[in-house]
């Protein structure tokens, strides 16, 4: 008998080879769906962060304080000039809050993509590709950054203050509108992280260019975009549609003039941006070159 | 008949950025980057039948790992085709890797901070395994790899040998028909190596799992694989059994003899002295010029012989000789 061969597999039995996975649960029970897996993976990251609760708390609190202090600068500006291009401080607070909520959520959820160059450099992405699940799901599941609760809280505080100053806080329809805008904004920033990760397939150091757009974009979009020169406005409307996450949804609400659907439709641009980024990402995966053995 | 694996003319070229030395060089390469092309694979073809166990050997950077990564669906080749169990790995990645187990000796598939058992649970979810069946399989692997005492230990606290056993179990939980091992015994001590070899042998024999193994440890290959494939400079240079490789390099045999007297080897024609250590002589000879019985008879006529063995040169020397013959 041939010692290095199997006993029964190679005598031309019919059917596919290797046989379909034996232990597979074909009913695709709900416990193994994508969301279930996401939470299982994220729970690991949360447990790891909770091992040092003090550090997590300090980090979040620090984040909150620093970002609130940033807003102090805006307040000082408005204290001096009262209005900027006709926008009041309370109005700007809405813009400011929406961007920070979106960015905080994206940084918490999209951390895996934000830090993706590390996975490429260490070759850990190989292991991701060996698992029979969507690589996007597996990368998102790597980490949920809880410390971004700090920026999130800041966004919420400032948004809440702006809403109540403008007498909008009691209108659920407005809250829904804004929640939808935050969802679109989160998708948009996640799209930027995905783009940044895609670049890592070609240059091992994730390009700072994207970082400039991301962080520069956050700073820029904290104000209504119509205060900027037209080139900046065009870039953040048509290329990286940051205008869709606060300017377009808020303009109709605060100034009137736009038909109602504009505010509702604008955040879709964020999802579209994410979808395009993911397409580019898939293209990048095919150019992944791994690292030496 | 289905081939487990068929690879035809696989090619892969990497562009490596060249950086000149010094600050000036760094600046220059920033402005005008220069690339060097490295042909990791320059047309590699082979086929594997289900149930085979094949060793891939070759020096560092020869293209072994690149081949494994293409077969695993991690890398997309620049040219050539390949099917594994009827699927093109990189086109149907998710389906493909569901039937595949891979162990990288230098990279972990387990969660560093979690106890082994939790890593196994997560993998069961990732592979969507049926609970009862997964539990049975897991019990079997825990028994055969002796993982019982390790299950509650966080992965980072395991020794390399312990971790390797856990990695093997992790790669086999979903009962793949195909297993790729990239240097599975690297850095392991002798007992750990033996345990892993024994396990792989039984996995292949009893469950018919097809195995590809890349290694620098030629003892692995000798112990496990009837067939071996030598890759060098991105080309497949040899595909056959160890005897075939031996014949390619040398037909030389070694005679080790302990004598009870003195002997002048010059009186034995067709023989060269490889080593001499007190009364022990190691002689190399070519069976085509002088056959072993003939040589032994002549030897015995010249001096009293206490003990003697005839063997082929060790596999390391054969392979080293093979590489030497390739590099002019």
Q: Write out chain B residues lying below 8 Å of A16, CB-based.
A: 2, 85-86
Listed by number, the residues of chain B in 94-123 with a beta carbon closer than 8 Å to a beta carbon of chain A are: 94-95, 97-100, 102, 104, 106-109, 111, 113-114, 122
Q: Contacts of residue A208 in chain B, CB cutoff 8 Å?
A: none
Overall number of domains in chain A: 1
> Domain check: are B136 and B285 in the same one?
no
A62-94 residues labelled b (16+ CB within 10 A) or e (exposed):
ebbeebeebbeebeeebeeeeebeebebbbbbb
CB-based contact, B154 to chain A, within 8 Å: no
- Give B-chain residues touching A17 at CB under 8 angstroms: 2, 4, 50, 85-86, 177
State the nearest Cα–Cα gap between B304 and chain A, in angstroms. Answer: 40
What ipTM was predicted for this assembly? Answer: 0.81
The answer to whether residue B328 sits within a structural domain is no
CA A102 to chain centre: 8
User: Does residue B292 share a domain with residue B198?
Assistant: no
β-bridge partners, B258? B280, B307
Beta strands of B128-270 (E only): which ranges? 178-182, 210-214, 227-232, 235-241, 253-259
pLDDT digits (tens, 9 = 90+) for B82-121: 999 889 999 999 999 999 999 987 788 999 889 999 999 9
Count Cα neighbours of A249 within 13 Å in the Cβ-side half-sphere: 30
Contact assessment for residue B164 and residue B150, using Cβ atoms and an 8 Å cutoff: no
- B14 lies in some domain: yes
Write the DSSP symbol of residue A238: I
- What six digits make up the tokens of A83? 């209005």
If asked whether residues B129 and B240 sit together in one domain, one would say: yes
One domain for residues B114 and B242: yes
Mean pLDDT, range B31-37, rounded to an integer: 77
The verdict on B151 and B255 lying in the same domain is: no
Residue B317: inside a domain: no
- CB contact (8 A) between residue A132 and residue B98: yes
B34: Cβ contacts below 8 Å, ≥ 6 apart: B17, B18
pLDDT tens digits for B118-135?
999 999 999 999 989 999
**Tokens read off for A15:** 């059917």
Among A284, A277, A290, smallest CA distance to A120 is for A290
pLDDT at B253: 83
Structural domain includes residue A45 = no
B12: helix, strand or coil = strand
Q: Answer whether residue A87 is part of any domain.
A: yes
- Domain span at residue B226 reads 5-247
Per the structure, the complete domain to which residue A249 belongs is given by 53-285
Chain A nearest-CA distance from B235, in A, is: 17
Closest Cα partner for B55 from B171, B196, B183?
Answer: B183
Same domain (yes/no): B168, B286 = no
Q: Is residue B194 part of a domain?
A: yes
> In this structure, are B148 and B282 located in the same domain?
no
Report if residue B326 sits inside a domain.
no
Strand locations in B161-226 (E): 178-182, 210-214
Domain assignment present for A189: yes
Please report whether residue A114 resides in a domain. yes
The answer to whether the beta carbons of residues B141 and B176 sit under 8 Å apart is no
Span B192-224, pLDDT tens digits: 888 889 999 999 999 999 999 998 888 888 889
A37:B126 CB<8 A: yes
Looking at the structure, do residues B61 and B96 belong to the same domain, yes or no?
yes
What pLDDT is stored for residue B242 in this prediction? 82
* Residue B67 contacts residue B238 (beta carbons within 8 Å): no
User: Is A107 part of a structural domain of the chain?
Assistant: yes
In a domain? residue A206: yes
Is the same domain home to B230 and B176?
yes
Q: Are residues B236 and B288 in the same domain?
A: no
Do B143 and B286 belong together in one domain? no
Q: Residue A100, Cα to own-chain centre: how many angstroms?
A: 12
Q: Give me the residue from A32, A48, A290 closest to B128, CB to CB.
A: A32
Closest residue in A to B72 (Cα) is A130
What pLDDT shows up at residue A10? 40
Distance from CA of B295 to the nearest CA of A (A): 33
> What pLDDT score was predicted for residue B237?
87
* Closest CA of chain B from A17, distance in Å: 5
Taken as a whole, chain A contains a residue count of 293
Asked whether residue A8 is assigned to any structural domain, the reply reads no
Number of domains in chain B: 2
Tell which residue, B203, B202, B215, B189, has the closest CA to residue B105: B215
A contact test, residue of B89, B128, B134, B243 with most A CBs within 10 A: B128
Cβ within 8 Å, pair B176-A20: no
Q: Which of A268, A156, A162, A277 is nearest to A213 (CA)?
A: A277
Distance of alpha carbon B133 from alpha carbon A25, whole angstroms: 9
What residues of B are in contact with residue A41 (Cβ under 8 Å)?
Answer: 122
* Nearest residue, CB atoms, B125 vs list A9, A32, A289: A32
Angle between helices A89-109 and A149-165 (to 10 degrees): 160
Q: Quote the minimal CA–CA distance from A115 to chain B in Å.
A: 18
Please provide the DSSP assignment of B242-289 as one string: HHHHHHHH---EEEEEEESS---GGGSTTEEEEEEETTEEEEEE-TTT
Residue A201 lies in a domain: yes
Q: Does any domain span residue B151?
A: yes
For residue B116, is it within any domain? yes
Q: Does B203 touch chain A (CB under 8 A)?
A: no
A36, closest residue in chain B (CA to CA): B125
Whether residues B256 and B228 share a domain: the answer is no
Whole-number pLDDT of residue A30: 44
From chain A, pick out residues whose CB is under 8 angstroms from the CB of B72: 129-130
CATH of the domain at B262: 3.30.70
Res B143 pLDDT > 90: yes
Residue B83: both structure tokens together: 């099917």
Q: Which among B86, B122, B128 has the least Cβ separation from residue A16? A: B86
Residue B227 CA from chain centroid, whole number = 11
What rounded mean pLDDT belongs to chain B? 87
Span B59-79, mean pLDDT? 89
**Residues in chain A, pLDDT under 50:** 1-15, 23, 26-30, 293
Residues 277-306 of B with CB under 8 A from A: none
CB contact under 8 A, A21 and B183: no
Q: Domain holding B15: CATH number? A: 3.40.50.300
Closest to A135 (Cα-Cα) out of B108, B87, B94: B94
């Amino acid at each position: 008998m041939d010692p290095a061969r199997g006993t029964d597999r190679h005598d031309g039995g019919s059917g596919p080879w290797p046989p379909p996975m034996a232990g597979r649960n074909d009913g695709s029970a709900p416990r193994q769906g994508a969301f279930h897996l996401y939470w299982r993976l994220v729970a690991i990251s949360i447990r790891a962060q909770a091992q040092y609760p003090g550090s997590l708390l300090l980090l979040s609190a620090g984040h909150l304080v620093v970002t609130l202090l940033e807003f102090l600068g805006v307040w000082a500006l408005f204290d001096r000039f009262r209005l900027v291009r006709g926008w009041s401080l309370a109005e700007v607070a809405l813009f400011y809050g929406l961007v920070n909520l979106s960015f905080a959520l994206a940084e918490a959820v999209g951390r895996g993509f934000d830090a993706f160059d590390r996975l490429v450099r260490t070759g850990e992405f190989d292991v991701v590709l060996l698992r029979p699940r969507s690589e996007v799901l597996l990368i998102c599941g790597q980490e949920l950054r809880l410390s971004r609760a700090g920026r999130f809280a800041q966004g919420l505080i400032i948004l809440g203050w702006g809403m109540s100053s403008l007498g909008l806080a009691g209108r659920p329809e407005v809250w829904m509108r804004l929640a939808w805008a935050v969802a679109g904004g989160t998708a948009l920033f996640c799209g930027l992280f995905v783009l940044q990760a895609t670049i890592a397939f070609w240059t091992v150091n994730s390009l700072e260019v994207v970082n400039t757009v991301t962080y520069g974009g956050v700073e820029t979009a904290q104000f209504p975009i119509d205060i900027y020169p037209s080139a900046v406005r065009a870039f953040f409307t048509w290329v990286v549609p940051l205008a869709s996450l606060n300017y377009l949804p808020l303009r109709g609400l605060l100034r009137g003039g736009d038909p109602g659907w504009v505010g509702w439709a604008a955040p879709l641009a964020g999802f579209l941006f994410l979808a395009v980024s993911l397409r580019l990402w898939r293209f990048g995966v095919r150019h992944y070159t791994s690292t030496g053995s | 008949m289905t081939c487990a694996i068929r690879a035809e003319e696989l090619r892969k070229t990497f562009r490596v950025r060249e950086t000149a030395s010094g600050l000036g060089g760094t600046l220059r390469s920033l402005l005008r980057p220069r690339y060097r092309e490295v042909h990791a694979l320059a047309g590699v073809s082979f086929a594997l039948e289900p149930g085979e166990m094949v060793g891939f050997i070759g020096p560092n950077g020869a293209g072994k790992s690149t081949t494994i990564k293409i077969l695993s669906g991690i890398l997309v080749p620049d040219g050539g085709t390949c099917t594994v169990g009827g699927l093109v790995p990189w086109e149907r990645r998710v389906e493909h890797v569901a039937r595949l187990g891979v162990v990288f000796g230098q990279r972990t598939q387990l969660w560093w901070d979690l106890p082994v058992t939790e890593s196994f649970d997560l993998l069961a979810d990732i592979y969507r395994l049926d609970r009862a069946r997964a539990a049975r399989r897991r019990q079997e692997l825990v028994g055969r790899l002796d993982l019982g005492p390790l299950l509650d230990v966080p992965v980072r606290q395991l020794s390399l040998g312990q971790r390797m056993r856990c990695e093997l179990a992790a790669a086999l939980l979903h009962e793949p028909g195909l297993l790729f091992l990239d240097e599975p015994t690297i850095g392991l001590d002798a007992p750990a190596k033996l345990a892993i070899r024994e396990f792989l042998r039984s996995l292949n024999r009893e469950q018919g799992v097809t195995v590809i193994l890349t290694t620098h440890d030629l003892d692995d290959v000798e112990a496990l694989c009837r067939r071996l494939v030598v890759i060098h400079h991105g080309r497949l240079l040899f595909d056959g059994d160890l005897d075939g490789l031996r014949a390619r390099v040398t037909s030389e045999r070694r005679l080790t003899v302990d004598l009870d007297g003195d002997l002048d080897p010059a009186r034995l024609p067709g023989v060269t002295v490889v080593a001499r250590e007190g009364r022990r002589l190691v002689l190399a000879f070519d069976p085509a010029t002088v056959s072993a019985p003939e040589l032994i008879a002549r030897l015995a006529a010249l001096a009293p012989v206490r003990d003697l063995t005839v063997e082929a040169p060790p596999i390391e020397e054969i392979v080293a000789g093979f590489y030497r013959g390739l590099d002019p």
